[in-house]
């Protein structure tokens, strides 16, 4: 396949976002990497085939393609760029973020093993572990992300993996990765973190001892709400194991998606800087508004993990979660009064997106079930895009005042 020089580890975030993983001279003299839209790669003759198979047998990186499920020139370029941004030896791109999670767990776990999850992991990750893996004889323990004693107590002789997130969804908790990985390494447990909300620009978990980083590249890495993708990054041996597993499981990226992801990555540093700025400003505004009961954002000193976030992170992202001084219906009226953000379930793109978790991701649950897992009706998750912060704040203010004008001013 197409080969490129090893990306420099000395460049800044924007330089690596643009250049890492790419050869200066690309096929056909193109400035951008061309899309290789093929499922099959052909060999010139038997000698070329023998040489290719011999490299594979020796465990060497192939010089060219063989079949689309095993790779694509664009995939190799994107993976090199992502590895450089994460400070990882290798990266692997999947067809979606959930594919990255499920394929990783299926590849690394066996019947009789145990997995430890922190309680605020993505609900579909928990569902996969508690329902699907349980059918395969894999045990699962769920612990609080800030209770290190509980984490260590949950680890048993058959524990193979610990899975957490940073920041978490929706309360943006940030576990102390240094303490967490000290525990996992002492017990020989592989640590996995979903760092989708942080991106490699705000947090590089591998530098804190984490073994494997996973992202839903659908979010900030792609950045334009127009693709589905996932990525795992770590050491070469671990990624080689995951790659072999995915060759069987088949959650592979398609060439068009890879092109969009590569394009999105080139502006990652610029976009994340704006997301960080907007998130911080929105959080500070909401914290000061009398119609808002509570705000969760790691950049606020009121957040329970603010000091940990300050130590681990360079920025705090664009997602702000807050609770209004109203009920489910009042919160729905507030969201309907917003004019700039789209109402939807995702985040990390250039457009702002807002959701009321009780009526979106947790609609099927009863009020009692939602309250039990910390999803009250008045909760809002706002994923700030890259619009002007003054416009977003003005829109929030008019929506808050439109819904609770008298109550808000009276309490103020």
Least confident of 166-170, 228-232, 400-404: 400-404
Instruction: Say if CB 129 and CB 137 are below 8 A apart.
Output: no
Q: What is the pLDDT of residue 51?
A: 92
CATH class of 268-411: alpha beta
Q: Which two tokens stand for residue 5?
A: 């020089």
Q: Which two tokens stand for residue 19?
A: 């250049």
Q: What fold characterizes domain 89-253?
A: 3.40.640
Region 333-357: mean pLDDT is: 97
Q: What is the pLDDT of residue 62?
A: 75
Q: Label residue 363 by pLDDT band (50, 70, 90).
A: low
Spatial distance between the Cα atoms of 393 and 372, rounded to a whole number of angstroms? 31
**Residue of 120, 176, 194, 254 marked active site:** 194
**Residue of 80, 81, 120, 122 marked active site:** 122
- Say whether pLDDT at 385 is over 70: yes
Region 110-137: mean pLDDT is: 95
Q: What is the pLDDT of residue 23?
A: 84
Q: Label residue 6 by pLDDT band (50, 70, 90).
A: very low
Q: Where are the domains of the chain?
A: 89-253, 268-411
Average pLDDT, the chain: 92
Q: Where are the beta strands (DSSP E) in 337-388?
A: 342-343, 353-355, 379-383
69 in active site:
yes
Q: What is the pLDDT of residue 410?
A: 46
Strands 342-343 and 353-355: what pairing?
parallel
122 in active site:
yes
Q: How far is CA 320 from CA 30, 114, 188, 352, 396, in A?
A: 40, 33, 35, 11, 12
Region 10-16: mean pLDDT is: 85
Share of the chain above pLDDT 70, in %: 93
């Amino acid at each position: 396949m197409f080969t490129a020089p090893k990306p420099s580890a000395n460049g800044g975030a924007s330089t690596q976002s643009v250049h890492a993983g790419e050869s200066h001279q690309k096929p056909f003299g193109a400035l951008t990497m061309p899309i290789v839209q093929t499922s099959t790669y052909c060999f010139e003759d038997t000698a070329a085939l023998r040489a290719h198979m011999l490299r594979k047998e020796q465990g060497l990186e192939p010089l060219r393609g063989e079949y689309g499920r095993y790779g694509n020139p664009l995939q190799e370029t994107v993976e090199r760029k992502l590895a450089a941004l994460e400070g990882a030896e290798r990266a692997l791109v999947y067809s979606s973020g959930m594919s990255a999670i499920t394929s990783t767990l299926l590849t690394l776990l066996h019947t009789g093993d145990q997995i430890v999850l922190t309680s605020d992991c993505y609900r579909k990750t928990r569902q996969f572990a508690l329902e699907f893996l349980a059918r395969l004889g894999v045990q699962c323990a769920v612990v609080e992300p800030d209770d290190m004693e509980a984490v260590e107590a949950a680890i048993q002789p058959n524990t193979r993996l610990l899975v957490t997130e940073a920041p978490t969804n929706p309360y943006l908790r940030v576990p102390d990765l240094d303490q967490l990985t000290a525990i996992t390494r002492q017990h020989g447990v592989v640590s996995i973190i979903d760092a989708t909300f942080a991106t490699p620009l705000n947090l590089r978990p591998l530098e804190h001892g984490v073994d494997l980083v996973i992202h839903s590249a659908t979010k900030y890495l792609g950045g334009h709400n127009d693709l589905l993708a996932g990525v795992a990054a770590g050491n070469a041996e671990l990624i080689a194991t995951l790659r072999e597993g995915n060759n069987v499981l088949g959650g592979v990226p398609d060439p068009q998606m890879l092109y969009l992801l590569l394009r999105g990555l080139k502006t990652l540093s610029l976009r994340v800087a704006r997301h960080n700025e907007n998130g911080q400003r929105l959080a500070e505004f909401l914290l000061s508004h009398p119609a808002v009961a509570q705000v969760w954002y790691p950049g606020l000193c009121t957040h329970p993990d603010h000091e940990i976030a300050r130590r681990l992170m360079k920025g705090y992202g664009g997602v702000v979660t807050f609770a209004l001084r109203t009920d489910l219906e009042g919160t729905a009226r507030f969201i309907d009064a917003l004019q700039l953000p789209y109402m939807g379930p995702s985040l990390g793109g250039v457009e702002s997106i807002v959701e009321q978790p009780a009526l979106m991701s947790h609609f099927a649950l009863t009020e009692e079930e939602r309250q039990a897992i910390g999803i009250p009706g008045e909760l809002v998750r706002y994923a700030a895009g890259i619009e002007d912060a003054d416009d977003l704040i003005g829109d929030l203010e008019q929506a808050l005042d439109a819904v609770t004008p008298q109550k808000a001013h009276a309490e103020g």
